[in-house]
Structure 1
Amino acid sequence: MLSYLVLFIGLLVHGVASSDYACTSQGGSCVDYRYFVCNGGVETGLCDGDSNRRCCLKCDTTCVSNSENWASCCDSACTSSGGTCKDNSNYCSGRYSSGKCGGPSERQCCSSSTSSGSCNLVTYSTANVYGYNGLTVQVEPGFKSNMVDINSFAISCGVEVVVTHAFREEGQDLGGTVVPPASNSNHLVGHAIDMNLDTPSGFCNSDCLYAKYNSYANCFLNKVTSSGLRWGGDFYSPDPVHIDDGLNLSSPSQWDSLYYDLQANCY
């Protein structure tokens, strides 16, 4: 009986350890990321358990040295206001802001306030990118450079991007959407647009975009996907009118902080 008990415990321990192997095999540790700061960054999908249990990536000697140097030389704009500089894949109970910390662009200032107190959206409109039926196209500043790229793609391919949705409020009535909105949609943080294309071959809606029979639309979509942006036509549940930057996947913590800020202040 004792031998069976030892075997059972051994299998149980092995099962728990092996479920975290994708993380631990690369030197990381599976932790509840809400209670740790991981200088090497945090990665999702490598650990067993709920969504808060994530892989704290290994911070080698170079990583440690860089973190110490950045903290001593370049973090005062953040720390003087009570914030903490860390990789934005880490948990932040407030919101991340850029330009206040040393190091790479993803090392940002986590401030304790959950709201900026003002609506931090920008309006974007050009001759080739504009809102449908007078819609004001609003995006988060971090997505504006992508809108500039989208505009250049439109000019290059001879099309006009007619935006039907950009930033949206939680619970907003979305009549006419192609697929039901995702619970962590990038529209909710101003990092996505839905659009149709006005082309020399005619207006290209969802069916046209997905069928890819319009050469002007194909030119535009090829440039979009080649740039690193995501096209909804490639999704498991296709949404051919959708374009985003994948912020909800690449930086869930930043998505969370933007969500609480923008949804509280932009309405």
Structure 2
Amino acid sequence: MKLSLALFSSVFCDTLPYDTQCTSIGGTCTDYRYLTCIAGYATGKCNGDNNRKCCLPCDTSCQLKEESDSLNDGKCTSAGGECKHNTNYCNGYYSSGLCGGGSARQCCKTGSTNCELLTYSNTWVKGYNGLTVKIDQGFKSAMDTMNNYAGQCGVTVYVTHAFRKEGQEIGGTVVPPASHSNHLTGHAIDMNLDTPRGWCNSSCLAAESNTNAKCFTDKIIANAGLRWGQSFNDPVHIDDNLWYSNSNTWTDLYYKHQNSCS
């Protein structure tokens, strides 16, 4: 790896106003698709769209460590991959155990992906209009719980959105995707309910006037491991609060699924 790729060249680094959360820690905001950053990228610290991320500073010691780590990258390079911090853009998917250095240095491979999302369907939870519901395997128990609640309340949960890619255009959402949306890691769904009293969409869910639907959402509220979006004006949304309960796991899953799944 050439260290010059990760240095803060003015050719690539298009600093804009309000990037101070990044610059104050010695970083540089840039489009992460075009610059490999040795120390990795931090999200949420730069102005602009989701592709502008904060390239963290890499001093002389950091650069020397990268040179040393790269001596053990043979398994990756022989497979046609490139070792780099897994917060960097990868036009393919990351594999672990093939690179020198810490666990964050992973092998970016192009070609066929290694997506580990699960396809979910159950008796009382289904994809709306034939949607294939993709979730992280760590969210399956939450989905099974929702399926049980739906059966107890006599409703069918029709999932309208589950895992989604960063920047994906979503029609009919109640609010814009959050910067740390749990949808981006496969730990959230948007849904409507089919009930004995009729179809229950966002307005119906918010009003809590449909007793079967309210039975279901009351059970979600009572479960400490689940979060109903009514509290932030998104009544069709349910997640397991992953970002706020374990941001490190959220970040690991974000890069894993965003780089490997479509």
2:227 to 227, 230, 238: 230
> Please, what TM-score do these two structures have when normalized by structure 2?
0.58
* Alpha-carbon shift at residue 135 of structure 1 (Å): 0.2
Q: Which is higher, the Rg of structure 1 or of structure 2?
A: 1
Against the structure 1 CA distance between its residues 139 and 158, is the aligned structure 2 distance closer, same or farther, given a 3 Å change threshold?
same
Against the structure 1 CA distance between its residues 253 and 212, is the aligned structure 2 distance closer, same or farther, given a 3 Å change threshold?
same
| Equivalent position SS for 2:106 | coil
Aligned length: 163
Give the Cα–Cα distance (whole angstroms) in 2 for the partners of residues 209 and 140 of structure 1.
Answer: 25
Aligned twin of 1:154: 150
Give the Cα–Cα distance (whole angstroms) in 1 for the partners of residues 228 and 178 of structure 2.
Answer: 15
Please list, as runs of the form range in 1=range in 2, the aligned pairs for 1:7-86 lying within 5 A after superposition.
none
> Please, what TM-score do these two structures have when normalized by structure 1?
0.57
| Equivalent position SS for 1:164 | strand
1:177 to 173, 177, 186: 173
What CA RMSD, in Å, does the superposition of the two structures yield over aligned residues?
Answer: 2.3
- Which structure has greater helix proportion? 1
| Equivalent position SS for 1:168 | coil
Give the Cα–Cα distance (whole angstroms) in 1 for the partners of residues 150 and 165 of structure 2.
Answer: 27
| Equivalent position SS for 1:156 | helix
Against the structure 1 CA distance between its residues 221 and 149, is the aligned structure 2 distance closer, same or farther, given a 3 Å change threshold?
same
Q: C-alpha deviations, 1:34-61, integer Å up to 9, x for none?
A: 9xxxxxxxxxxxxxxxxxxxxxxxxxxx
Structure 1: where are the runs of 5+ without partners?
1-33, 35-92, 96-108
1:201 to 191, 197, 201: 197
Give the AA of the match of 1:253: N
Give the Cα–Cα distance (whole angstroms) in 2 for the partners of residues 246 and 94 of structure 1.
Answer: 23
* Alpha-carbon shift at residue 226 of structure 1 (Å): 1.1
Give the AA of the match of 2:156: E
Q: State the 4+ residue runs in structure 1 displaced beyond 4 angstroms.
A: 114-117
Aligned twin of 2:236: 241
1:252 to 233, 242, 247: 247
Against the structure 1 CA distance between its residues 115 and 260, is the aligned structure 2 distance closer, same or farther, given a 3 Å change threshold?
farther
Aligned twin of 1:113: 106
Give the AA of the match of 1:141: Q
Q: C-alpha deviations, 1:52-82, integer Å up to 9, x for none?
A: xxxxxxxxxxxxxxxxxxxxxxxxxxxxxxx
Give the Cα–Cα distance (whole angstroms) in 2 for the partners of residues 113 and 225 of structure 1.
Answer: 39
Q: C-alpha deviations, 1:178-216, integer Å up to 9, x for none?
A: 111101100000000000000000000000000000000
| Equivalent position SS for 1:113 | strand
* Alpha-carbon shift at residue 114 of structure 1 (Å): 7.0
* Alpha-carbon shift at residue 118 of structure 1 (Å): 1.1
Please tell me whether the aligned partners of residues 199 and 217 of structure 1 are also in contact (alpha carbons under 8 angstroms).
yes
